[in-house]
Amino acid sequence: MPHQAASGVLIAGTSSDAGKSLVVTGLCRALARRGINVAPFKAQNMSNNSMVCADGSEIGRAQHLQAQAAGAEPTSAMNPVLLKPGSDRRSFVVLRGKPYGTLEAGQYATGRAALAEAAFAAYQELAAAHDLVICEGAGSPAEINLRTGDYVNLGLARRFKLPMIIVGDIDRGGVFASLYGTYALLDDADRATLRGYVINKFRGDQSILQPGLEMLTERTGLVGLGVLPWLPNVWLDAEDTLEVGAWRSSPRASGDRDRLRVAVVRLPRVSNITDVEALAAEPGVDVLVTTDPRVVADADLVVLPGTRTTVSDLTWLRETEIAEAVMGRASQGRPVLGICGGYQLLAREIDDKLESGDGATSGLGLLPIHVTFSDDKVLGRPVGSWRGHPVAAYEIHHGVAEPIDGTDAEQFLDGWRSRQTWGTMWHGTLENDDFRRAWLTEVAAASGSDWRPRQDAPAFAERRETMITTMADAVEEHLDLDRLLSWTTARPTKPNFWRKTPAAGGFRTKTPPKGGTGARSEDQAGSGGDA
């Protein structure tokens, strides 16, 4: 029986981190190159890394990036439900970009009817305005314990008759078993949505895979759309992975003073840790994510990133002796940077009746500020400057920091600096190239490092665009896009914003897409720290 063409396609995975976000990003750019008006969509995202759209709404970071790839303005419809874990049993709900309440663990499978209807309405909104909606699933569609009430995988596919494509990660092993197991676990009605599969992160000679591909297609009837290669330089705005491939640097050798060592504290409820991706991209800067107080004490710069639960993570800092290491650095005039929730940790006083309910609590006392949490969530895309360098940023937080009377600290962006302890509520500041390099130069001098910025280093926005291009090139070369499009109603309706540059071997932007500029947002709300 022939299938009806659909207004969208659903990219699911055999597991989390199989590469769904990357594949959707590549598809958005590759199909936009063909003149198709594309929009990304993820009905529900669970992540503490988020962004702020131009209208002040908050969505998952991956969907914001996918909108950039598609040349579309990011909107709350692209990620209508965002769950931000606040504990092992509770998530804070962001609905259409605004705080909505909490979802307890026991409600996950059954308490989401209103969220489902909002997600379906958002899909219809995008489908009415675009030629094709490229949807990203969550986790795996074979999580049969969660099938009731599902609206992000099979529930979405069944509602809108979307063809589903399964992505399997061969790098972790067992890819044929995971693809076949996904197929086998579904009932007949759900299985009917499956149309094809993609193998991701392959290294080697593809001919070795061919017998397995043929047997899998024979046993399932699914179309093999292609095999994507391992792309070592593509990391694309992580959602929850803390050790991005670009960060895995070896500790600097003793006496190697032309490098800068940065220790990023891996807080238990870390959020918007992607703030430091720009540091990791800077030549000569080694970024290590750590929970070791010795690494914190030894680094040239320590970063306390955002946190979803400030007071709880403050307790953890003290229990692990990291707090002592950070305070020791500050007393010696050695650089420390706190961002949003990390900035709040540096305060003298924290008044939190919202998240922890603990009320007044003493912070690390390294900056002369008082932090108060309230129900109101601050979402914005502020701009400012530091020593003549323009800074565009975004902010997402419930905690408000106010200076304590009589402070002799120096203002730093929207926050404060005392000796070499720096703090700001703003996210995304380090993506501003001139500011980042000037600030790191001062940090290097204070830490005794001879590191200096390389003038020929690419801009961070250029690196992100290059990675989108790399992923799109791989999708075009290795996947059967004509077959995929044949399952949909999509036809080219807009000018091609990208043109191929043969000399460079890739694609370059001809006209800047709407979603490709502006500040990036990466924090969460909830009483403790980032909103």
Residues 372-405 have pLDDT tens digits of: 988 888 899 999 999 999 999 999 988 888 888 7
> How far apart are alpha carbons 41 and 24 in whole angstroms?
9
User: What residues contact 515, with CB distance under 8 A and at least 6 apart?
Assistant: 64, 67, 68, 70, 71, 72, 73, 74
Percentage of residues in the chain having pLDDT higher than 90: 66
| pLDDT of amino acid 302 | 97
Any idea what DSSP says for residue 120? H
> How far apart are alpha carbons 60 and 82 in whole angstroms?
7
- Annotated active-site residue 427? The verdict is yes
> How far apart are alpha carbons 516 and 518 in whole angstroms?
7
**Which tens digit of pLDDT belongs to each residue from 179-214?**
999 999 999 999 999 999 999 999 988 899 999 999
Of 207, 60, 205, residue with least CA distance to 136: 60
Angle at CA of residue 25, ends 20 and 27, nearest 5° = 95
The three-state secondary structure class of 329 is: helix
Residue 406 has pLDDT above 90, yes or no: no
Residue 17 has pLDDT above 70, yes or no: yes
Q: Which of 28, 53, 135, 340 is catalytic?
A: 340
Of 340, 380, 408, residue with least CA distance to 97: 380
> How far apart are alpha carbons 272 and 483 in whole angstroms?
37
Q: Are strands 421-424 and 164-169 parallel, antiparallel or unpaired?
A: unpaired
Arithmetic mean of pLDDT, 449-477 = 94
**Which tens digit of pLDDT belongs to each residue from 141-173?**
988 888 888 999 999 999 999 999 999 999 888
User: What residues contact 464, with CB distance under 8 A and at least 6 apart?
Assistant: 65, 68, 236, 237
Domains of the chain by start residue, with CATH: 8-236+466-490 (3.40.50.300), 259-447 (3.40.50.880)
- Annotated active-site residue 389? The verdict is no
Residue 73's Cβ-count burial label (10 Å; 0-12, 13-18, 19+) is middle
Residue 450 has pLDDT above 50, yes or no: yes
pLDDT band at 527 (very low <50, low <70, confident <90, very high): very low
- Highest average pLDDT, of 23-27, 86-90, 491-495, comes from 23-27
Distance of alpha carbon 120 from the chain centroid: 23
For 237-331, list the strands marked E by DSSP: 260-265, 270-271, 285-290, 301-304, 306-307
Q: Which of 64, 130, 398, 427 is catalytic?
A: 427
Arithmetic mean of pLDDT, 239-246 = 45
Give DSSP secondary structure letters for 382-403. Answer: -EEEETTEEEE-BEEEEEEEEE
Any idea what DSSP says for residue 420? T
Residue 505 has pLDDT above 50, yes or no: no
| pLDDT of amino acid 517 | 31
> How far apart are alpha carbons 351 and 404 in whole angstroms?
14
Measured between alpha carbons, how far apart are the two ends of the chain, in Å? 49
pLDDT band at 333 (very low <50, low <70, confident <90, very high): very high
Contact predicate 304/364, CB 8 Å: no
**Which tens digit of pLDDT belongs to each residue from 79-137?**
999 998 766 667 888 999 998 877 765 555 555 788 999 999 999 999 999 999 999 99
Query: Model pTM?
Result: 0.85
Residue 120's Cβ-count burial label (10 Å; 0-12, 13-18, 19+) is middle
